């Protein structure tokens, strides 16, 4: 069926704003005045704004779905509020053997080290594990420490830390996944069935937010199997790209499994719905927890440069091996030391591996050493940013700036500089670390503050335009996913994946999602 959209404005990267869009059989068949000349069913936009569907280049949908099952401590502003919510959940779920939830704001207390005894006051008979908003920190109760056998004699694992009291006993805060595993390996394992439910939840949340394609950036068994089940059953209602996590300890043994999963996914009856061509590497932690890998030490801990998760030689071997298999690399690097290591590794890998359209990604790219800014373009590295982070939020004020100082703090998120250097910039939410809603985020890198805020912009010289922000969340994210010929723009022949907003984001920040379309069909969300 042919449908013509009129009575509002249409935008696409590279085409600007125009009137009229025509679709048929799930594809765009005409734009602008040519669309308005065609016959078909007419949908009046009523002054609304039609644009390509948002493409989330870095998210954790299953984690979001899992987290939604537990106590909701997001945005709570005190220990007492968190304890009250945990107590409520425990009372309403007496049969849950473990209480796992998130994501608390670590900046509500000085230093971000939370005490197990605080959780013990409301739940002492079962283990409690709460993730912080950065998802590089967890807060647990004493029962969780007991079950894991963590005591004063337990050493910090390589690549992680255990916060301690003055007497050396574990306090109840652990940082980085390798440390989390000391506890979470004892928790009931997530199943394909439970992760399938998480995927259904995530799909609804994403599509209702205007997202038509997303990237699952932390895939471990049995997550891939759950996504395959979702694709086969029709539960996967938007396109999903999988990025398999490998670690310094397991990257070699994971090669066969990852290849097998990619092959199985490629054989699905609807291959565009699910793809698996990316490998995720974690090279450091987070600035908020003092675990991002830095060139110069932290001010609050002069003996620490953060956590360097991979040794140089091992990282090069791993990235080279997966690159030879034609997997894209997607590297988490936040500190300037981790970013330099990542760029150096990519450069060395390209000297030995044969040339191909590899499109390496460094995600977060939070603090870049000045001499490394130009290397993104030189090495054809895509910088994937989280636009919601590009203002001076409480985490920056209370946790990050005291650790790194104002000079380094104010050099974070250099979007303008990178764009001027012709670097490709894509966007992702990092959900559930922060909101999955692009409309919560697209104006922040433009204003360098929250819309409506009376505060001064943060590093205003790094602000970008609305056009550039929308492009990063559509066309460039499509490029990151090797899908630029199919999605991310509204050009003739491309898939009819788009979102209709109530107003133009070029005219106001007060915009809402009215409807979402994938392959020419309106998606019903609950």
DSSP 306-325: ----S-HHHHHHHHHHHHHT
Q: What rounded mean pLDDT belongs to the chain?
A: 96
Helix (H) or strand (E) holding 259: helix 255-266
The count of domains in the chain is 3
Q: In this structure, are 100 and 200 located in the same domain?
A: no
Whether the per-residue pLDDT at 477 is higher than 90: the answer is: yes
Q: In this structure, are 304 and 437 located in the same domain?
A: yes
CA dihedral 216, 178, 359, 59 (to 10 degrees): 20
Domain annotation covers residue 59: no
Whether the per-residue pLDDT at 461 is higher than 90: the answer is: yes
Half-sphere exposure (CA, 13 Å, Cβ side) for 407?
5
Q: In this structure, are 261 and 298 located in the same domain?
A: yes
Work out the angle between the directed axes of helices 223-233 and 255-266 (0-180°, nearest 10).
Answer: 10
Structure-token pair, residue 482: 């090797």
Whether the per-residue pLDDT at 524 is higher than 90: the answer is: no
Strands in 230-369 per DSSP E: 239-246, 274-282, 328-333, 361-364
* Mean pLDDT calculated for residue range 496-510: 98
Taking only the tens place, the pLDDT of each residue in 320-348 is: 999 999 999 999 999 999 999 999 999 99
Domain annotation covers residue 196: yes
* Mean pLDDT calculated for residue range 175-186: 93
Taking only the tens place, the pLDDT of each residue in 139-168 is: 999 999 999 999 999 999 988 899 999 999
- Give the CATH number, domain containing residue 145: 3.10.310.70
Taking only the tens place, the pLDDT of each residue in 344-389 is: 999 999 999 999 999 999 999 999 999 999 999 999 999 999 999 9
Taking only the tens place, the pLDDT of each residue in 267-282 is: 999 989 999 999 999 9
Domain that holds residue 170: 66-184
The domain boundary, picked from 184, 209, 235, lies at 184
Q: In this structure, are 48 and 91 located in the same domain?
A: no
Whether the per-residue pLDDT at 525 is higher than 80: the answer is: no
Domain annotation covers residue 310: yes
Q: In this structure, are 162 and 223 located in the same domain?
A: no
The domain boundary, picked from 158, 184, 210, lies at 184
Domain annotation covers residue 61: no
333 vs 366: CA distance, rounded Å: 8
Helix (H) or strand (E) holding 260: helix 255-266
Residue 112 has a pLDDT of 85
Q: In this structure, are 158 and 208 located in the same domain?
A: no
- Give the CATH number, domain containing residue 214: 3.20.20.140
Q: In this structure, are 160 and 211 located in the same domain?
A: no
With 0.85 as the threshold, say if the pTM is over it. yes
Q: In this structure, are 439 and 518 located in the same domain?
A: no
Domain annotation covers residue 289: yes
Q: In this structure, are 256 and 340 located in the same domain?
A: yes
Q: In this structure, are 168 and 86 located in the same domain?
A: yes
Q: How confident is the model at residue 526 (pLDDT cuts 50, 70, 90)?
A: low
Q: In this structure, are 112 and 206 located in the same domain?
A: no
429 vs 432: CA distance, rounded Å: 8
Half-sphere exposure (CA, 13 Å, Cβ side) for 340?
15
Residue 102 has a pLDDT of 83
Whether the per-residue pLDDT at 442 is higher than 90: the answer is: yes
Task: Give Cβ neighbours of residue 41 (< 8 Å, ≥ 6 apart).
Answer: 1, 2, 3, 4
139 vs 133: CA distance, rounded Å: 11
Domain annotation covers residue 178: yes
* Mean pLDDT calculated for residue range 495-505: 98
Helix (H) or strand (E) holding 470: helix 466-472
The domain boundary, picked from 119, 152, 184, lies at 184
Read off the DSSP letter of residue 412. B
Residue 158 has a pLDDT of 85
- Give the CATH number, domain containing residue 507: 2.30.40.10
Whether the per-residue pLDDT at 213 is higher than 70: the answer is: yes
Domain annotation covers residue 146: yes
Q: In this structure, are 428 and 494 located in the same domain?
A: no
Domain annotation covers residue 286: yes
């Amino acid at each position: 069926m042919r449908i013509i959209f009129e009575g509002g404005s249409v935008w696409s990267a590279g085409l600007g704003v125009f009137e009229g869009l025509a679709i048929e059989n799930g594809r765009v068949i005409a734009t602008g005045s040519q669309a308005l000349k065609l016959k078909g069913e007419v949908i009046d936009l009523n002054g609304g704004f039609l644009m390509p569907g948002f493409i989330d280049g870095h998210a954790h949908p299953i984690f979001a779905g899992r987290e939604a099952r537990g106590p909701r401590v997001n945005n709570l502003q005190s220990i007492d509020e968190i304890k009250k919510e945990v107590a409520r959940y425990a009372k309403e779920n007496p049969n849950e053997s473990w209480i796992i939830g998130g994501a608390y704001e670590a900046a509500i207390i000085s230093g971000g080290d939370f005490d197990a005894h605080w959780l013990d006051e409301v739940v002492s008979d079962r283990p409690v594990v709460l993730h912080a908003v950065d998802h590089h920190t967890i807060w647990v109760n004493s029962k969780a420490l007991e079950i894991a056998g963590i005591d004063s004699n337990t050493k910090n694992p390589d690549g992680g830390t255990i916060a301690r009291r003055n007497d050396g006993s574990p306090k109840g805060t652990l940082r980085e996944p390798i440390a989390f595993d000391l506890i979470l390996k004892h928790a009931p394992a997530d199943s394909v069935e439970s992760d399938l439910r998480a995927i259904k939840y995530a799909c609804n949340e994403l599509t209702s937010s205007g997202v038509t394609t997303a990237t699952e950036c932390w895939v471990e068994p049995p997550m891939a199997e759950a996504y395959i089940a979702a694709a086969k059953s029709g539960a996967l209602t938007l396109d999903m790209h999988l990025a398999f996590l490998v670690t310094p300890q397991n990257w070699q043994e994971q090669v066969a499994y990852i290849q097998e999963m990619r092959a199985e996914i490629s054989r699905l009856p609807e291959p565009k719905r699910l793809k698996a061509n990316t490998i995720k590497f974690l090279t450091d932690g987070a600035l908020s927890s003092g675990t991002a890998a830095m060139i110069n030490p932290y001010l609050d801990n002069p003996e620490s440069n953060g956590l360097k998760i991979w040794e140089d030689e091992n990282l090069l071997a791993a990235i080279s091996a997966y690159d030879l298999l034609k997997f894209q690399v997607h590297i988490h690097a936040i500190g300037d030391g981790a970013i330099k290591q990542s760029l150096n590794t990519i450069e060395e890998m390209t000297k030995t591996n044969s040339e191909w359209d590899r499109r390496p990604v460094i995600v977060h790219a939070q603090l870049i050493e000045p001499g490394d800014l130009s290397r993104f373009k030189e090495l054809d590295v895509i910088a994937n940013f989280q636009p919601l982070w590009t203002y001076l939020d409480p985490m920056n004020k209370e946790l990050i700036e005291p650790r790194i100082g104002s000079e380094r703090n104010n050099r974070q998120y250099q979007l303008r500089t990178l764009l001027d250097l012709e670097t490709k910039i894509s966007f992702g939410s990092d959900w559930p670390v922060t909101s999955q809603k692009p409309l919560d985020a697209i104006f922040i890198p433009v204003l360098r503050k929250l819309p409506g805020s009376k505060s001064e912009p943060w590093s205003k010289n790094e602000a970008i335009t609305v056009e550039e922000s929308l492009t990063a969340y559509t066309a460039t994210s499509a490029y990151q996913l090797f899908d630029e010929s199919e999605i991310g723009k509204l050009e003739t022949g491309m898939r009819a994946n788009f979102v209709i907003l109530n107003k133009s984001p070029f005219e106001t920040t007060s915009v809402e999602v009215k409807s979402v379309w994938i392959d020419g069909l309106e998606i019903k969300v609950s």
